[in-house]
Structure 1
Amino acid sequence: MPSYAQFNPIRIRSYILRLPLCTRLLLAAMVGLWIAAIPFPWLREWARLDPDKMDFTQMHRLNLFPIMHLNFLHLIFNMLAVTPLIERFEAEYGTLVTLALFTGPFGTLPGGIYVLLEKFVLRTNTSVMGASIWVFLLLASEAMKTSKTNPNFSIGPYKIPTWTTPLILVLLTSFVVPNVSLVGHLCGAGIGYLWASGYIKFLVPHEKILRWLETKLNLLGRLPHYVSVDQKTYGRYGVLPTTASASNLPKSPEPGQRLGP
């Protein structure tokens, strides 16, 4: 019998309240654009990724198309799918890295590849929008990490490589869900594989620069739900407030172990 405790609204509320800062900002941008598109429907045409309209005056589409959605159901399903993935990513890499990637390369790279494929290879003009491209990007990244400890999973007598899981989901989605972009989802997954393999991590500013910004602007002290880039030193949400001096605290006879992500 399935347990209904997992649907406890208190737990859902607690999870929402614990979402880190950049995840909140991205979700708020999705909801805000959807609300703005109700009285101004031309915003969808302005933000969607339309290959035939792409030129140097339309580069904003590469950044906006993942947070623009066609309708309410499209928005809700994408938010449910992408929220735990972005939250997990931000918990691992920090708020500054997440903000830099999701407002930049994680939109422009898969979007740019999609435009090139549509215009010069497939010779079609299929417009796309929605955060599902981020869903498959992050699923591909997670699958690559999981494959290091669990290279295969079994379906009957067959062993399936773990890293192929997002590709299987892309194919299933294209068959089950109408009006989805197979090529767009594959572009997102491709960037996820490149990120997890380390080939595009040079796009992230150096950790010393990010740490200097955090210290100079006192981001840990000023911004609630901010996740430090240097989690080994500060923990997930920075240094916890204390009234006792560290020098007066009793010392453990054994070395400590860092808890949490």
Structure 2
Amino acid sequence: MRRARNMRPNIVSEAGLPTRMSQWWESIPFLTSAVVVVCGIIYLVCLLVGYDSFNEVCFLPSAVVSRFQVYRIYTSILFHGSLLHVVFNMMALVPLGSELERIMGSVRLLYVIILVATSNAIFHVLIALLVAHNPLLTYDYLMNECAIGFSGVLFSMIVIETSLSGVQSRSVFGLFNVPAKWYAFFLLVVFQLLMQNVSLLGHLCGILSGFAYTYGLFNFLIPGTSFYSSIESSSWLSSCVRRPKFIVCTGGNPSGYIPTQTSQNSTTSGLLSGNIWRNLSSFMPQREVSAQSTEDIRFPGRGRTLGAVQGQTASHLHSDSNLQARLLEDSSPNSPLDSSTPSNTQQLSEGRHSVDDVATAAAGVPQNQGAVVSEERIKKLVSMGFDRTQVEVALAAADGDLNVAVEILMSQQG
């Protein structure tokens, strides 16, 4: 029997690609996907209506300075000159923006994008003015350079994400690894060599803005978590907040998104707090790690740490350390105590009371409570066959720890 030539197509393979694309798109957070949609729609509208007058929306330093067209700061990052331009920028934005948005939250990342876009423009204008009006060599080209595209913000995000990740090296297109602090500069050189009509100054200003953010120069411009919470709780944003892809600012440790921030709700200027000069000691700042609790849930109870707890009671225990050693030595089987001697009995009694007082004081419990606990432990060890006098001395030396006291007693008998 012949097999029919026009076989039914594989339904699983046909539904596989749309399903995977849908899953991939759903995994992108709210703000990152919104930027991709806005940039894509703007390019398609310009393509359909035949709009190509990018001189009206690009970032032009001469127009910003002479005609104060500040709107160019933000329109320039949303428009793109070609299909390859917008596709390449959005493909780079998806992993970068998704990572930063999961760390910062959707509203906070939007604020950071606006902040670095503004600082990029300021750096761009200042450098262009400096080059155009310096007394040594006048060069007006940068004042009339028309920059457009989201790549300036992308370079800022690259620097911020690299700083927050804490990695030591990064791979450049899988060809070779470079130190993380030079990664953005290597990308800048590679793009300048491989592509034409690429704004060197626009990308360089993006790198400068990223480092300014990580070094804390913008800390005085960054509001506290209450600012973001009030925006998220507003009625006009409620429909966006309810979306599954929206990431709410939880108000966690700011060191997760600001490497130089030291307090959770601090809005103090980095210029006044001294963070800038401390961070300048290293070229690439690292994310601060919050101090972990000294108590481990795996080992509950009061632990003794060298240089910490012992350091607080060292002055109290030092005076009785020789007495404890002498009492242990006197109570060993090789040199038994003569209980009939009044001086030895009085010395041992005074030594026990002194050591018990110090042990209970170091443990932070009242003396009466410590005596009751010690009496119960003494009875336990006496019931095991040890001498009561040796048990009392061993418990005092072990700070009330039964296990340590048993080891002391066993070593004495051994």
TM-score range normalised by the length of the shorter chain: 0.7 to 0.9
| 1:229 aligned to which of 234, 249, 261 | 249
2:85 aligned with 1:85, yes or no? no
Q: TM-score, normalized by length of structure 1?
A: 0.75
Q: How many pairs are equivalent?
A: 224
Instruction: Using the aligned pairs only, state the percent identity.
Output: 21
Match of 2:158 in 1: 139
Greater RCO (CA < 8 Å, at least 6 residues apart): 1
- Gap change, CA 1:61 and 1:19, over 3 Å in 2: same
CA contact (8 A) 1:20 1:90 kept: yes
Query: What whole-Å deviation, never above 9, does each CA across 1:136-168 have from its counterpart, x for those lacking one?
Result: 11111122234x4x435799xx99532111111
- Whether 1:114 and 2:124 are equivalent positions in the alignment is yes
CA contact (8 A) 2:32 2:93 kept: no
Q: Go from structure 1 to structure 2 and tell me whether the alpha carbon gap of 1:57 and 1:85 turns closer, same or farther (over 3 Å shift).
A: same
CA distance in 2, matches of 1:137, 1:25: 19
Give the distance between the partners of 2:43 and 2:147, measured in 1 at CA: 15
Alpha-carbon distance, 1:230 to partner = 0.3
Shift of 1:20: 1.6
Instruction: Pick one of 102, 127, 151 that aligns with 2:168.
Output: 151
Amino acid in the other structure paired with 1:128: A
Deviation of the 1:202 alpha carbon: 3.4
CA deviations on 1:48-85 (whole Å, 9 max, x unpaired) are: 11122114641000011111100111111111111211
The two structures have a TM-score, normalised by structure 2, of: 0.49
Q: 1:118 to 1:216 in 2, by over 3 A?
A: closer
Q: Give SS of 2:41's match.
A: helix
C-alpha RMSD of the superposition: 3.0
For 1:110, the aligned partner's letter is N
User: CA shift at 1:189, angstroms?
Assistant: 1.0
Q: How far apart are 1:117 and its partner, in Å?
A: 1.5
Q: Give the SS at the match of 2:116.
A: helix
**Counterparts of 1:62-73 in structure 2 under 5 Å?**
62-73=73-84
Distance in 2 between the 1:209 and 1:34 partners?
33
Among residues 179, 199, 204, which one is paired with 2:222 in the alignment? Answer: 204
Aligned to 2:27: 18
Report the CA distance between 1:186 and its aligned residue.
Answer: 1.0
- What is the SS of the residue equivalent to 2:226? helix
Partner of 1:50: 60
**Residue deviations 1:100-145, cap 9 Å, x none?**
232x212111022112212331532211111111221111112223
Name the SS for the 1:54 alignment partner.
Answer: helix
Q: Tell whether the 8 Å contact from 1:95 to 1:228 is kept in structure 2 after alignment.
A: yes
- C-alpha contact 2:170 2:183 (8 A) present in aligned 1: no
Q: Distance in 2 between matches of 1:50 and 1:18?
A: 36
Give, in whole Å, the separation in 1 of the partners of 2:103 and 2:19. 25
1:163 aligns with 181
CA distance in 2, matches of 1:216, 1:69: 32
Aligned counterpart in structure 1 of residue 70 of structure 2, from 49, 54, 59: 59
Larger radius of gyration: 2
Q: 1:9 to 1:203 in 2, by over 3 A?
A: farther
SS for the counterpart of 1:58 is coil
Once superposed, which parts of structure 1, at least 4 consecutive aligned residues long, lie more than 6 Å away?
Answer: none
In the alignment, the residues of structure 1 paired with residue 161 and residue 64 of structure 2 have an alpha-carbon distance, to the nearest angstrom, of 31
Q: 1:123 aligns with which of 136, 140, 147?
A: 140
* 2:196 aligned with 1:186: no
Q: Residues of 2 paired with 1:24 and 1:197: CA distance? A: 28
Give, as a single letter, the amino acid of the residue that structure 2 aligns with 1:106: V
Letter in 1 for 2:117: G
Gaps of 5+ in 1: 1-6, 234-253, 256-261
Q: Structure 1 residue 30: deviation in Å?
A: 0.7
Q: Give 1:116's aligned amino acid.
A: L
